[in-house]
Amino acid sequence: MRLLCTLLLFLITATGVSAQEADTVAVADVPAAAEAEAPDIAQLATALDSMPAPSAELPPMSLNSVPEQPPLSAMSDYEPHRGADFRLFKSVTNPATRPYTFLEDQSWSGIPIFLAGLLVRGERTAFRQNYKNPNTKIRLIKYNFHNKIDNYTQFLPLALTMGLHLGGYEGRSDWPRWWASAAMSAAIMAGFVNGFKYTVKEMRPDGSTRNSWPSGHTATAFMAATILHKEYGLTRSPWFSVGGYAVATATGVMRVLNNRHWISDVLSGAGIGILSTELAYGITDLLFKGRGLLRNDLSVYPDLRANPSFFNISMGIGFGNRHLTLPAIDYNLPEELGGEEPGVPLELKFRMATAVGAEAAWFFCPYVGVGGRLRVKSTPINGWNNFALSEQSGLNEFMKDPELESAISRMSLTVESDHLTEFAADAGVYFSYPLTSRFALGTKLLFGRSVMNALDVTGTFAGKQLDFNSAALSDETQSMFKTTDKDVQTAWDYINVDATNSFKLGSGISLTYAHKNAFSWRVFCDYDFSRKTFTATYNPLGFMSTLSPDFADLAKSVLNFDVNKPFTSATKKSLHQWVLGAALCVCF
């Protein structure tokens, strides 16, 4: 009987009953228990043995997070490495992590970005390039930007990943597993890039080689950024992902500004970089399973109600103003040079634009945030090349003059840019309204600066200098010019259309869908307003001061005509521009 009372008190204490309640139960129930028949100990042992063992499986994965990892002390004696980690080939596994699956590692975000680059390859047909003509050099962007920093920034996210590993900052993988993932990413990326480059054989914008599409620098940069995203952006902080993809985007932009790649090359290269790394990590997961894993992802799906902050890269098509009419150029020529010929208005017709940008915003609450946007928009102009060809034909007629034909050895026009190219930087307030954890509506109000670089044709001249015979002005039988033995050459702005830098106002609406692995997709429609003054400058005789300085001086002193002064025409225009597109976001 005493044994039964002791057992009853033990069971009451184990179920969390207070000491006071235990005393009450013991006093009240012992007499009744004394009268009851003692239980069969053998039957009790059999019942305990038949009870099911606790499940060893992890709890089911929720929609917005991976299963919570149990404390390391509860599962193993594993402890994170302290200090610098030079165990470059030693395998280490954290038993508290769960293995990844192949499909879990695939966001497939690289595929639509690659296809976007493939679709906009047709944009370059507006250039009508003829690389067999060495005097034709049509460039997407006129800015004389030549910087080799993109040769190094393409590797920066990968260098950061290695630095964090060496510093002992634990990421997703140990060294052997990371080596395998990185090497496989590079191999897949190189196979895609070189396979396309030397099959398609796309000419570069500068006409140097036929291996433009896709961009290898951009593919490498986005491969490296996605490795950083996998190792630390998903397991430690999304700021690693933001930094890595920002550097990769800057690398792609610099490839365009350096005139080494088209926008389509950069987009396709970015898609290949992301896709290659995701495939490599999926294959590594199949090969290594749980071996070499140190940390799991913080979350599987972005929660737009809790984390609306983002960094994105976007691509879209622009439309709005369809034409620009500049007033007739007043040549103001003296009668001796045919000054009575009337000028004609310059009509420019815009095609659909291509817009590429990067945007980021930090939300201090689920609904309101601050951020900014950088965007490059390129608008082809119809008929501009026809104008250049017409002018070149006029120069050819001019060079048929017997007095000039022997002196001019080369006269050519080069179309430097036949696009309206706008660089815009904006900052302002962003708004988000979450519909669910995975869908959100957004809008914004931005203020910024618009820098537009427009159309440009340069002329080049080479030949022998001419001495002007002033006696020919009174005696028509004498030759006006005499050829000398002095070689001269020059280059000058033949004609260009430019626009003033201006203030701009922007807004837009968007719908965001939280995809997976911290990625979200966004479709948007942006509106921008600015007012600019467009000016056309035309200088067909800019070479005369080099060809014959005597004639140029005479024209200025006697005819009051400066051959180096271009003719101008200007007009003000309000620009209403829309961009319809999509963006890949990293949410944090």
Listed ranges 104-113, 124-133, 163-172; the one with the highest mean pLDDT: 163-172
- As a three-state string, the secondary structure of 93-152 is CCCCCCCCCCHHHCCCCHHHHHHHHHHHHHHHHHHCCCCCCCCCCCECCCCCCCCCCHHH
Domains of the chain in start order, with CATH, are 2-38 (no CATH), 90-288 (no CATH), 310-587 (2.40.160.20)
| Weakest mean pLDDT among 21-30, 351-360, 484-493, 534-543 | 21-30
Between CA 107 and CA 274 the distance in angstroms is: 9
Task: Report yes or no: 285 and 99 within 8 Å, Cβ to Cβ.
Answer: yes
pLDDT at 21 over 50: no
| Least confident span in 36-45, 191-200, 492-501 | 36-45
Count of other CB atoms within 10 angstroms of residue 304: 26
And the tokens for 362? 């930090």
User: Taking the chain, what is the end-to-end CA distance rounded to the nearest angstrom?
Assistant: 65
Beta-carbon neighbour count of residue 460 at 10 Å? 16
Mean pLDDT over residues 25-30, rounded?
A: 40
Pairing of strands 481-499, 519-538: antiparallel
| pLDDT single digits (tens) 217-234 | 999 999 999 999 999 999
pLDDT at site 329: 64
- What pLDDT score does 574 carry? 93
Listed in sequence order, the residues at least 6 apart from 214 whose beta carbon sits closer than 8 Å to its beta carbon are 114, 117, 192, 193, 196, 197, 265, 266, 268, 269, 272
Minimum mean pLDDT among 183-187, 204-208, 360-364: which range? 204-208
CA gap 458, 416 in Å, rounded: 7
- Cβ distance 519 to 278 under 8 Å? no
Tell me, what's the pLDDT at 388? 66
Helix (H) or strand (E) holding 312: strand 310-320
Q: What is the mean pLDDT of residues 238-257?
A: 89
Residue 443 near residue 507 (C-beta atoms within 8 A) = yes
Which residue in 330, 246, 337, 310 sits closest to 544, CA to CA?
A: 337
d(CA 425, CA 357): 10
Q: If you average pLDDT over each of 208-212, 266-270, 337-341, which comes out highest? A: 266-270
Predicted pLDDT of residue 44: 40
Question: How much is the pLDDT for 344?
Answer: 63
- Report whether pLDDT(51) > 60: no
Task: State how far the Cα of 341 lies from the Cα of 392, in Å rounded to an integer.
Answer: 19
Contact 586/304 with Cβ under 8 angstroms?
no
pLDDT band at 389 (very low <50, low <70, confident <90, very high): low
Does 516 or 390 have the greater pLDDT score?
516
Scan for tokens 């962007």, then name that residue. Answer: 141
So what's the pLDDT on residue 240?
94
Q: Of all residues in the chain, what percent carry a pLDDT higher than 70?
A: 77
**Residue 384: which pLDDT band, with cuts at 50, 70 and 90?**
low
Is the confidence at residue 441, as pLDDT, over 60?
yes
Q: If pLDDT is split at 50, 70 and 90, which confidence band does 135 have?
A: very low
If we measure between CA atoms, which residue out of 105, 107, 165, 109 comes closest to residue 285? 105
pLDDT digits (tens, 9 = 90+) for 277-293: 999 999 999 999 999 99
Q: Is the pLDDT of residue 137 over 70?
A: no
The sign of the dihedral angle between the CA atoms of 65, 66, 67, 71 is negative
How many Å apart are CA 375 and CA 236, to the nearest integer? 30
pLDDT of 370 reads 97
Task: Check: CB of residue 249 under 8 Å from CB of residue 218.
Answer: no
Q: What is the pLDDT of residue 279?
A: 96
Q: Which two tokens stand for residue 14?
A: 């184990």
* Higher pLDDT among residues 555 and 129, named by residue: 555
Give yes or no for a contact between 422 and 449, defined as CB atoms under 8 angstroms apart: no
What was the pLDDT predicted at 220? Answer: 97
**Which secondary-structure segment (H or E) carries 502?**
strand 502-514
Listed residue (178, 371, 158, 339) closest to 251, CA to CA: 158
**In whole numbers, what is the pLDDT of the chain averaged over residues?**
79
In the prediction, which pLDDT does 145 show? Answer: 57
pLDDT at 244: 93
pTM over 0.75: no
**DSSP per position, 38-60:** PPPHHHHHHHHHTSPPPP-SPPP
Tens digits of per-residue pLDDT, 65-120? 444 444 433 345 677 888 888 888 899 999 989 999 898 889 888 898 898 888 77
Distances 169 to 91, 99, 231, 235 between C-alpha atoms, Å? 16, 21, 11, 11
More confident residue, 508 or 261: 508
Say which range, 58-62, 271-275, 411-415, 469-473, has the weakest mean pLDDT: 58-62
Q: Summarize pLDDT for 306-323 with one digit per residue, the tens.
A: 889 999 988 888 888 778
Q: What is the Cα–Cα distance from 64 to 216, expressed in whole angstroms?
A: 35
Strand-pair partners of 414: 458
Q: What is the pLDDT of residue 472?
A: 74
Reported as a pLDDT band with limits 50, 70 and 90, residue 552 is confident
Which residues lie across from 582 on neighbouring strands?
315, 523
Token readout for 268 is 């396709």
Maximum distance among all Cα pairs of the chain, rounded to whole angstroms: 150
pLDDT in tens, 333-375: 555 555 555 556 777 888 888 788 899 999 999 999 999 999 9
Whole-number pLDDT of residue 542: 86
